[in-house]
Amino acid sequence: MTCENKIVIVTGAASGMGLATTRLLRDQGATVYAVDRQEVALHAACAACGAIPSVVDITSSRACDELVARVVEEQGRLDGIANFAGVLKRTGILDCSDEEFDFVMETNVKGCFYLCRAAARVMVAQGAGSIVNISSIWSDVAAPGVLAYCVSKGAVSQITRSAALDLAGTGVRVNEVRPGETKTPMLASERGRALTPEEIDGKLQQIAATIPEQRLAEPEEIAAAALFLLSDASSYMQGASITVDGAYTAC
């Protein structure tokens, strides 16, 4: 299970799971194009691990195409992409605004689609490649107060399965990691205001108590699953989902 010498794009690389995956891939000897819209944090992350920073807003179809074209121009190929970039709005059916719904769809659904399509076109021509999407435990079951997010993650799972069927037999694989509650800035977010460190601690402890394993996932534990799907060790996995949730969805 190695990604040594692979050329990989990781989105959402300035924070949380995308950052952990970027570091793990670099430790493994992969060349990583680290993508995020947060310029300062991205450059700091890349300086620390030797990834190549690429400031891109994945809600732009053209920017996604240009990103993939740049990698192929510079490296001659693209072996893998891990689509971690995502957003969450804590709003439900009564209070979710049009803008909030669109914002979540633009990033989580359209951004994922743009990058899957751009990568797939290159990878099919190569006859090889691995696309890894990041859905959520909220892909299949819902949660209260995060309507647009649940809808968007259900769509990510369908992008994964549909693309896998479209690409089966081409040498290109499409799979997803389905994380549970993971210790990242996204999990500690609240609508309309920043939480104090004490509030964040309290909130994370509350969430951890609802998980059979009685703790949150570390971003590195999600990165390990992404690494497996990017590597040749998962060569017969196609259209599949790896759930990493401390048994949350087992009950």
Residue nearest to ligand NAD (CB): 16
Residues found near ligand NAD in the complex (CB under 6 A): 11-12, 14-18, 36-38, 56-59, 84-87, 107, 111, 134, 136, 179, 181-182, 184-187
Residue 94 CB, nearest approach to ligand NAD (Å) = 22
Side-chain-side CA neighbours of 200 within 13 Å: the count stands at: 12
Out of 114, 149, 236, 248, the active site residue is 149
Lateral strand order in the sheet of 52-55 = 52-55, 31-36, 7-11, 80-83, 129-134, 172-179, 241-244
Q: What is the DSSP letter of 217?
A: B
State which residue, 109 or 172, has the beta carbon closest to ligand NAD: 109
Residue 212 CB, nearest approach to ligand NAD (Å) = 16
Residue 51 CB, nearest approach to ligand NAD (Å) = 13
State which residue, 16 or 53, has the beta carbon closest to ligand NAD: 16
CB-CB contact of 119 with 70 (8 Å): no
Residue 158 CB, nearest approach to ligand NAD (Å) = 15
Query: Residue 211 and residue 146: Cα distance in Å, rounded?
Result: 18
Task: Clarify whether 248 is annotated catalytic.
Answer: no
- Work out the end-to-end distance of the chain between its first and last CA atoms, rounded to an integer number of angstroms: 30
State which residue, 92 or 126, has the beta carbon closest to ligand NAD: 92
Backbone dihedral angles phi then psi of residue 153, each to the nearest 5 degrees: -75, -30
State which residue, 52 or 124, has the beta carbon closest to ligand NAD: 52
Sign of the torsion formed by the C-alpha atoms of 155, 156, 162 and 166? positive
Task: State the catalytic residues.
Answer: 149
